[in-house]
Homo-oligomer: A and B are copies of this chain.
């Protein structure tokens, strides 16, 4: 736990027992050298007497161990002990209100990162943050996004957000900087140095102004460096690949893609922009499920007919999983070829007729949309292969291919293998882990051991700079094929293409 609550029966003062109020409380705790907080001491005498010498003490974790007296309440309030796990993404923030008494999630919610008002892409935000004015604005927008979400959680759980005494934050390195009010502008300037990789424990009243208890403990998951943040370490922690003997690979494809390969003895990682390739065009912004967004598409491999479960209201776009469904279906229907080109005469395809869309224009898949997608896919494949090549591991040798993040969560595994996004392994070795950033934040919120593991991980991982790698560039250029240039790596896809007559022996 980041915070612990103790219900105390404080011995009443008697003649000859003139312990001061504070020492009287502290003596009833199982810890020594508890740091006191003046805001707590200011209310302590009144609280002790109002509670008739039964009070509940909240302690917060400190950097380097030990505890801090964070609050004292009259009576036994241990039934109400709240913490928040927060995943602060470039586009979306997700948070869970956790009942620290049981460790259970009471409510989870999400919201947009309001920094999007300033710029959709991270690079522009980092550049703007080089100037104090831009930085202040971005920090403020991020704080507003977080506070909106905290208020939302509190509202849904019918508590006051001031009752929340602990928060664990997981995000990429840039978002961690914005969250802490630090200057992230050097993250995009050589030699790409963060202000801090292991921020550890802070207090809300260190100028963070979060909608939490003023003395709340804030723990930020550590980063490895500019391009590998707390969210990636959360992924490792949740996946457990760092504890296993067999080698596994973990990918998280969002605005950026992070890839980690290894086992309990070694871990190497790479990261890079997955780019806007998966956004725009047929894609609804943020790839999130929302009203008007198609989540699933089926293409008949014989007739090429497109079928989808109509969303509520007019169609606004496709979410990521539907794009993968669509492209895999079009490949198997022979409407696009393995290089992503439309076969025959057409250079676009109508997915949704004008009559069914929100704009009144038909929803179109253009040649450029497919090219964008295949570039992204090529980048991810190249990164994965470069990393595996660096340690001489072949795809078949992977124990697990694990996919973190919303992208993997709703993805049809067969479609992803067909396009070459996932390797062609036995399907039980392809696993989607969901929002591991949020799950990792929750573990960090609940257990000191988890936080220690994260701190250790942050110093254990070897980061591989892909942009500096000629091998990566070669693989990237050569790898823009569905599912791969080398079909022997995709035996089940090859078999299906053969069966459908799209490939000759």
A407 at the interface (CB under 8 A from B): no
Given contacts A66-B64, A463-B18, is CB(A38)–CB(B180) below 8 Å? yes
A35-B62, A207-B39, A208-B38 as given contacts; A20 in contact with B193, CB under 8 Å: yes
When the two chains form their complex, are residues B193 and A13 in contact, meaning their CB atoms are under 8 A apart? yes
Question: In the complex, A45→B181 CA distance in Å?
Answer: 13
The reply to whether B193 and A35 contact each other, CB–CB distance below 8 Å, is no
* Closest-CB distance, A268 to chain B (whole angstroms): 15
The interface bits of chain A over 151-191 (1 if a CB of B lies within 8 angstroms of the residue's CB, else 0) are 00000000000000000000000000000111100100001
Contact B20 A196 (CB under 8 A): yes
Whether A133 sits at the interface, judged by CB under 8 Å, is: no
Task: Tell me which residues across on chain B come within 8 A of A289, comparing CB atoms.
Answer: none
* A345 in contact (CB, < 8 A): no
Which of A197-205, A232-240, A250-258, A298-306 is near enough to bind chain B?
Answer: A197-205
Add 20 more A-B contacts to A13-B191, A20-B198, A23-B198 (CB < 8 A).
A14-B191, A18-B191, A18-B192, A18-B463, A20-B195, A20-B196, A21-B193, A21-B194, A33-B65, A34-B64, A35-B62, A35-B63, A36-B196, A38-B182, A38-B207, A38-B208, A42-B181, A42-B182, A44-B195, A45-B195
Which residues, 116 to 159 on A, are CB-close (under 8 Å) to B?
A: none
B33 in contact with A64 (CB, 8 Å) = yes
**Given B20, B183, B197, B206, which contacts A39 in the complex, CB threshold below 8 Å?**
B206
- Give CA–CA (A33, B62) in the complex, Å: 10
Known A-B contacts A225-B18, A463-B18; the reply to A41 vs B195 at CB < 8 A is: yes
A188 CB → nearest B CB, Å: 13
Task: State in angstroms the CA–CA spacing of A423 and B33 once bound together.
Answer: 42
- Chain B residue with the shortest CB-CB distance to A64: B33
CA distance A295 to B325 in the complex (A): 98
Please give the distance in Å from A153's CB to the nearest CB on chain B. 24
| Nearest CB on B from A17, distance (A) | 8
Asked if A22 CB lies within 8 Å of chain B CBs, one says yes
Closest chain B residue, CB of each to CB of A192: B18
List CB contacts (< 8 Å) of A195-250 with chain B.
195-202, 206-208, 223, 225-226
A344 within 8 A of B: no
Which residue on chain B has the smallest CB distance to residue A65? B33
Contacts of A194 in B (CB 8 A): 20-21
Asked if B42 and A183 sit within 8 Å, CB to CB, the answer is yes
| A44–B180 alpha-carbon span in the complex (Å) | 13
Tell me which residues from 21 to 77 in chain A have a Cβ below 8 Å from any Cβ of chain B.
21-24, 32-39, 41-42, 44-46, 62-66
Contact of A20 among B44, B63, B197 (CB under 8 A): B197
Complex interface: chain B residues within 8 A of A46 (CB): 183
Q: A225–B33 contact, CB under 8 A?
A: no
Contact A23 B191 (CB under 8 A): no
A15 at the interface (CB under 8 A from B): yes
A243 to B22 CA separation, bound complex (whole angstroms): 29
A196: B residues at CB distance < 8 A: 20-23, 36, 41, 44
Q: How many copies does the complex hold?
A: 2
Which chain B residues lie closer than 8 Å to A195 at the CB level? 20-22, 41, 44-45
On whether A226 and B22 interact (CB within 8 A), knowing A38-B207, A65-B33, A181-B38, the answer reads: no
Per the 8 Å Cβ criterion, residues 468-496 of A in contact with B are none
Once bound together, how far apart are the Cα atoms of A14 and B42, in whole Å?
Answer: 49
Report the minimal beta-carbon distance from A154 to chain B, rounded to whole angstroms: 24
Name the B residues within 8 Å of A13 (CB-CB).
Answer: 191, 193
- Chain A 393-405, CB-CB to B under 8 Å as 1, else 0, gives 0000000000000
A18–B38 Cα distance when bound, in Å, is 39
Which residues in B have their C-beta under 8 angstroms from that of A463? Answer: 18
Decide: A45 and B183 in contact? CB cutoff 8 A.
yes
**Is the CB–CB distance between B41 and A64 below 8 Å?**
no
Chain B residue at minimal CB-CB distance from A203: B38
How far is the CB of A84 from the nearest CB of chain B, in Å? 19
With a cutoff of 8 Å between Cβ atoms, the chain B residues found around residue A39 in the complex are: 206-207
CA A201 to CA B198, docked complex, whole Å: 24
Residue of B whose beta carbon sits closest to that of A199: B36
A183 → chain B closest CB, angstroms:
6
Q: Mark A403-444, 1 if CB is under 8 A from B, else 0.
A: 000000000000000000000000000000000000000000
- Among the listed B197, B206, B208, which residue makes an inter-chain contact with A22, where contact means beta carbons less than 8 Å apart? B197
Q: Which residue of B lies closest to A32 (CB)?
A: B64
**Chain B hits for A180, CB < 8 A:** 38, 41
| Across-interface contacts of A34 in B (CB, < 8 A) | 63-64
Q: Which residues of B contact A64 (CB under 8 A)?
A: 32-35, 66
Chain B residues lying within 8 Å of A17, measured Cβ to Cβ, are 191
